[in-house]
A and B are shown apart, each in its own frame.
Chain A
Amino acid sequence: MGCGVFRAGETRPEHPAFPLPFGKQVTITSEFIVEPKNNHSISAVKFLDVNRYFGEVRAVDGVNLEVRDGEFFSMLGPSGSGKTTCLRMIAGFDRPTAGQIFLYEQDVSRLPPYERSVNTVFQDYALFPHMTVGENIAYGLMIKKVPRLEQSRRVEEMLELMQLSGMTGRKPAQLSGGQRQRVALARALINHPKVLLLDEPLGALDLKLRQQMQSELKAIQKKVGITFIYVTHDQEEALTMSDRIAVFNHGRIEQVGSPAEIYEHPRTPFVAGFVGVSNLVSGEVATRITGRPEPFSIRPEKIHLASQEENPGEDQYIVDGVVRDVVYLGLYTRYMVELEGGGDLVVVEQNLRTTSMDVLQSRGQPVRLSWHRDHIRRLGA
């Protein structure tokens, strides 16, 4: 992975920059501060050269990472990229082959799960089937021998926060997917963990419910002010909820940054392709457009589509081509443009004035593509 520092155009000096252990400068923006009591200069979780091998397979390969106190942090990546293994190592279900993991400055690399003050929301929720909702939620308190009266008081509190009032006596089997999800969340949060780990908790829900739970999760996180570490392969989910995102690939971190940074300034071809849709341009085509052979990425929505007579300004990159394919998607239209002299680009345009009739007729038409010079992202090797 590229380990250079952010270029000047990407750092914003008006915000404090935090040095990361692997030499990156990442900025934060003001919307990260969810509650004044959270101190972002405190690291909640820190990975120091963490490796985890399963035989020959390097599931986690030299990861350095710092999650700050009180932030909503996502680990994003395809399956097998090492994000879940990282989460399991924070929880204590797995131990690093080499390297150290710190939880609020304490080295927890060798501690068993029950000696770490982190709690997990599991992908399959892992509710205890033989216990009622109330017993499930109170489990952590029961183990800690909290007095019964306080147990039931805190369970009630949790049920209210999760909008589960009146469900105390039910068994998990009698709940819907969304309710189970909330019980699992309540069962973890009641222990006031220092860090809450969430392992693709919304994966089993349908789209509507998932979107609703996304905003609920975010709201709950703001309310309780606990550091959330959220594992997902869904880039939209990560962009929606996170304060910061780490993009994983092949056991390594490709990039860490705010959703906007990750989306607007992808630093590797992988990030550009995995987060959102991107045109990756390299080699001869890149030279023809920009005059330099460096590969770059350009988002489809940044490209302007016009007739070949039009002459865009000096600050634009220009390339001519022919529309090969048109997909009308209601809100917007996706064009596949074959460039003169080879290569193609995907262009997305909102249907502000055009109708489906108009756009479908553009098939086979010669067009001129242009975009602002600032909108391309040069990608390191």
Chain B
Amino acid sequence: MRSKSYSGAQASWGLKIAAFLTLLFLHVPIWIIFLYSFTPDETTYTFPLPGFTTRWFGVALGRSDLWSALTLSLRVAAVATLAALVLGTLAAAAVYRSNFFGKESVSFLLVLPIALPGIVTGIALRTAIGGLEIPFSFWTIVIGHATFCVVVVYNNVLARFRRTSGSLVEASMDLGANAFQTFRYVIFPNIATALLAGGMLAFALSFDEVIVTTFTSGQQTTLPIWIFSQLTRPRDRPVTNVAALIVILITFVPIFLAQRLTAESSETGESKSG
């Protein structure tokens, strides 16, 4: 590629085409789902569409199994994210602020669950749940999800702590603030965007998790598992597409907002150096 200056120069045609193809590659499958949510032909994917209908939305609205799966997924994701925010922040603070024996190992063990294949985490949790004779419930799913949600919050918050000057906390205490006030007025505003980004990611991870969930959910059906089970029922395919569309909407809005929020704060927040 020819080297051009970063600012203002036109990208070459090759680069433009490459970018365009990448976007197509990423988004065509999503458009297909969008498109075939409106097809009157319920079993096959024909193009162009044989007609246009919105009746699948009505059908989907009437499916109580879809709605209970969706609400279960939302509840699990919300609680798992909340737990991750609290535990992840505390863990990051502990690793950043203090020096204790085995600190490096603790840091490693915290990050491990996300690197471990889900199937291993799943079978381990299943064994633990079975061994301790805990009945499968909403909480067993939440615990399963929290194992990897904690990591993303932990990583985000720890990275932010490392970028923030350590003397800010001392400055706040020096000016008369106790630990609680220091957290409220100094630490929290400084890590808020990191919490938001970490929380979003944790929510998204939990919301579409299949593998660990199959081991910890028992007879309960979360949305991803519901969609997965729909594969064996070709006549319901447009309903599945509608469900997928709902998922896209649910995830799109917060991620869009989070991007705008973090972009704004990174413009004004880069004052740590100097």
Contact = CB atoms under 8 A, between A and B. Distances in A.
9 contacts: A93-B173, A112-B173, A112-B178, A114-B173, A114-B176, A120-B174, A130-B190, A142-B185, A173-B271
A45 to B, nearest CB: 15
B186 to A, nearest CB: 6
B172 A139 contact: yes
Sorting the interface of chain B by its residue count into under 10, 10 to 19, 20 to 34 or 35 or more gives 20 to 34
Given A143-B181, A171-B268, A173-B271, A128 B173 contact: no
Interface string B246-274: 00000000000000000000001111101
A91 B174 CA distance: 7
A119 B171 CA distance: 9
Contact of B170 (A93, A144, A191): A93
A129 interface: yes
Interface string A100-137: 00000000000011100011101110111110000000
Interface string A73-108: 000000000000000000111000000000000000
Interface of B: 165, 167-168, 170-178, 181, 185-186, 189-190, 268-272, 274
A62 interface: no
Interface string A163-178: 0000000011100010
B39 to A, nearest CB: 50
A122 B171 contact: yes
B271 A143 contact: no
A173 B165 CA distance: 13
B174 A128 contact: no
A343 B102 CA distance: 55
Interface string A127-165: 111100000000110111000000000000000000000
A104 to B, nearest CB: 17
B177 A128 contact: no
Interface residues of A, number: 31
Contact of B175 (A119, A123, A172, A180): A119
Contact of A114 (B167, B177, B189, B268): B177
B181 A119 contact: no
A204 B274 CA distance: 8
B170 A124 contact: no
A136 to B, nearest CB: 9
B100 to A, nearest CB: 14
B191 to A, nearest CB: 10
Nearest to B271: A173
